[in-house]
Amino acid sequence: MKPGRIINNFLLVLVACLCVYVYLVLFPQVLFKEKVSYRNFNIYSNERIDNKIFEIIDNAIVELRKSELYDSTKKQKIFFIHDSFYNRLTGDYNRELLGYHEFFINNTMIVPKVDVKENTLIGIDGRLHVLAATIVHETIHSFQENRYGFFKVLRTPEWKLEGYAFYIARSSKVMNNGHLSVEYARQCLNDVSKYQTRKGYWLYGFMTGYLLTEKGITLDELMNDSIKYQATLDELIKWYWQNRGMYQLFASI
Ligand SMILES: [Zn+2]
């Protein structure tokens, strides 16, 4: 065979491999043995998915309905990728995450090993997390794109996207009787020193919760460029110290 032909064949194989790789990254459904379809969710895994998943999805939807972004017609794909070929294919680069959402192709990946029966997953820091809350968090990202579009979401600062997802997924902790929970803020501050909580998502959640509830702005206003990170953080800190002071005052009476 002529050298030119060998190079051509080699390039052909290379391009074919690249195409297969891109296809599998975009449409990894074929890499998973198990699939459960329930309501608007498709869940993929290599291990048998316990029937508890139905209750988990039901509960996740109850939480998702707290968001005005909820859309029951929007299909969701959730992949349990721990120890999967997909994970090796993508270089295992997301090990420290609980989950991540891929915009545009609308795939949600749950990273650590899940225990569906117990509704849990264990983060890389060893802490136990609620699987339903992680599903809610990542699904909110899907709804953000559904409402605002891919390009708007791309331009939106991380603290707003993550903050809103955190705020909805943990609303029962972030909020207390319709107000931000000072106790939960205190607990998160303690966790920061203990676990070095990743990227301060909890703080973004409080900033978002502060704007939407204490300040009463709308979600569309939150997405507006005029709402800035530093100004919001300054206001939240002021709010926290005022309320913390009040809490201590009441406690001392
Ligand atoms: Zn997120």
199 Cα: distance to centroid of ligand 1 (angstroms) = 11
Q: For residue range 94-126, what is the model confidence (pLDDT) as tens digits?
A: 777 899 999 999 999 999 999 999 999 988 888
Q: How remote is the CA of residue 165 from the centroid of ligand 1, in Å?
A: 6
Identify any residues that bridge with 80 across adjacent strands, giving them in sequence order.
110
253 pLDDT band, cuts 50/70/90, is very low
Q: Do 83 and 118 fall into the same domain?
A: yes
Calculate the dihedral angle through the C-alpha atoms of 102, 103, 106, 111, rounding to the nearest 10 degrees.
20
Q: Of 155, 184, 217, which residue sits at a domain end?
A: 155
- The alpha carbon of 38 and the centre of ligand 1 are apart by a number of angstroms equal to 23
- Name residue, tokens 């990273």: 111
Are 127 and 234 found together in one domain?
no
**Distance, CA 235 to ligand 1 centroid (Å)?**
23
Decide if 22 is inside a domain: no
Q: Residue 137 and residue 187: Cα distance in Å, rounded?
A: 20
Examine residue 13 and state whether it is found in any structural domain, yes or no: no
Position 234 in a domain: yes
Domain count for the chain:
2
Tens of pLDDT, residues 6-28: 888 888 889 999 999 999 989 99
Owning domain of residue 34: 28-155
Highest mean pLDDT among 50-59, 84-93, 171-180, 206-215: 50-59
30 Cα–ligand 1 center, Å: 25
Residue 1 forms part of a structural domain: no
Q: What is the pTM assigned to this prediction?
A: 0.89
Closest by Cα among 165, 159, 117, 116 to 137: 165
Q: Whole-angstrom Cα distance, residue 248 to residue 186?
A: 13
Q: What CATH number did the domain enclosing 54 receive? A: 3.40.30
Widest pairwise Cα distance in the chain: 93
Task: Examine the fold and report which residue of 155, 181, 210 is the final residue of a domain before the chain moves on.
Answer: 155
Residue 45 shares a structural domain with residue 132:
yes
What is the C-alpha separation between 180 and 111, in angstroms, rounded? 29
